[in-house]
Amino acid sequence: MIKSRLTLDDPDEAHAIALAIMEKYYGFNLTDILSGKDVENIDFSLIIERINQHEPIQYILGEAVFYGRKFKVNSSVLIPRPETELLVQEVINENFVSPRILEIGTGSGCIAIALKLEIPASQVYSLDISENAISVAKENAAALKAEVEFIHKDFLQDFSIEPFDVIVSNPPYIKESEKTSMRPNVLEHEPHQALFVPNEDPLLFYKAIASKSKSLLKPGGKIFVEINEQFGEAIKELFENTSFHQVEIIKDFDDKHRIVTATYSY
């Protein structure tokens, strides 16, 4: 018998969490549940208590779905978001044949791994400042049989590597001042290093990407970055003022500025 109950206010969220638990522990889908398929009696009290403490269900189950694949996740990495799938799709839509791709900010490895699997002839490299994140990403790459080169490196520091056709990134872009408006499941559990930037320099990583592209991108190489919806025009202007052309802002399914793409010219 389950001794605890979910205290979530959103019934749709509670329903989605219940389905995720049933799939993880029983291999059940919605059809199995609606048909009344029998399950053994397991006490989920501990899981429910963790949910009630705002711990994300993805961390509790140890996995999240991204671009149709399951990725291991824990509190060392951000939980992949559906809107970030648009970032992957924009790269795929360019129809590169065998590009060299650099991802900045590995996290779970979901972006780099998805790109390698969707563009098999690509060479994919991904760097992160967090050793724990690199470890999780390597596990995911091995499990999904994706050949990705992971690099433990602080992108804001100097480093050298052969130039790329593509740079893709979902960098930290939430201002410290926005913490007060964030949900506790994010604020209390996901890694702040991967989320926040100083209030006085919210474009910190985009500036670094733009300036370092002089050595990191081949002529005509292209950048794809996820952005804070508040700064779409500012990021577009930043790239236009840093030797980029064909700079575009792409909206997500909520009609918010979500991605900026730009082509580099020497």
Map tokens 């779905």 to a residue: 65
Residue 160 pLDDT: 85
Strand partners for 140: none
* 161 vs 138: CA distance, rounded Å: 20
Question: What single string gives the DSSP state of each residue in 143-205?
Answer: HHT--EEEEE--TTS------EEEEEE----EEGGGGGGS-HHHHTTS-GGGTEE-TT-TTHH
- State the pTM of this model: 0.86
Among residues 115, 117, 83, the alpha carbon closest in space to that of 101 is found at 115
Among residues 200, 164, 184, the alpha carbon closest in space to that of 91 is found at 164
Residue 49 pLDDT: 86
Give the pairing of strands 148-152 and 123-128: parallel
Those residues with Cβ within 8 angstroms of residue 193's Cβ, 6 or more apart along the chain or in another chain = 129, 130, 172
List, for residues 108-134, the tens digit of each pLDDT value. Answer: 999 999 999 999 999 999 999 999 999
Per-residue pLDDT of the chain (266 residues; tens, 9 = 90+): 344 555 555 666 666 766 776 677 666 666 655 565 666 666 677 888 888 888 998 999 999 999 999 999 999 999 999 999 999 999 999 999 999 999 999 999 999 999 999 999 999 999 999 999 999 999 999 999 999 999 999 999 988 899 999 999 999 999 999 998 998 889 999 999 999 999 999 999 999 999 998 899 999 999 999 999 999 999 999 999 998 999 999 999 999 999 999 999 86
Residue 25 pLDDT: 67
Cβ neighbours around 75 below 10 Å, total: 13
Domains of the chain: 11-53 (no CATH), 75-264 (3.40.50.150)
Residue 250 pLDDT: 97
